[in-house]
Amino acid sequence: MSKSSKSEIDEMGFGPFDIGPDGTETDLERAVWANLDEIPDPHIPLSLVEMAMIYDVTVEDSVANIDLSFPCMGCPAYEFIHDDIRGCLRTMSCIDDVEINVVWDPVWSKDMLDAEAREKLQESGIAL
């Protein structure tokens, strides 16, 4: 998911939400976003990034800090998703550790899905 500027993000439906890349990321942070975009949601045919579950990514001293939310509290795939994120990012040569922060502000909403994600869901028979 290439979202390189705040205006582009606004056009894609993230406007009222302070989530996702905003164009100020380092090259390594952009690479982390790209890798996270390869992790499929275990229930929905979209990536975690496409599902707007990844709110923010920062990398400091080879530690990837991921702000993650879930569409619902008590998600049965909670640990599975955490393991997928850690496993994916630990394969990156510049990442030594992964810290995952579960956040609930803003609360995840289907309004966070961009037009492309909505189209993919509709094509797979999932109504919004």
Over the chain (128 residues), the average pLDDT of each successive run of 10 is: 40 60 92 96 93 96 96 89 96 96 92 92 88
Q: Domain of residue 102: give its range.
A: 6-119
Residue 127 lies in a domain: no
The per-residue pLDDT for 17 is 73
Record the pTM.
0.83
Residue 97 lies in a domain: yes
The Cα 22–Cα 123 span in angstroms is 28
Please state the length of the chain. Answer: 128
The residues near 91 (Cβ < 8 Å, ≥ 6 apart) are 35
Residue 124 lies in a domain: no
Residue 1 lies in a domain: no
The per-residue pLDDT for 22 is 87
Tell me the CATH number at 10.
3.30.300.130
The per-residue pLDDT for 16 is 59
Residue 56 lies in a domain: yes
Residue 36 lies in a domain: yes
Q: Is 78 helix (H, G, I), strand (E, B) or coil?
A: helix
Q: How many CB atoms lie within 10 A of CB 61?
A: 6
The Cα 66–Cα 101 span in angstroms is 6
* Number of domain units in the chain: 1
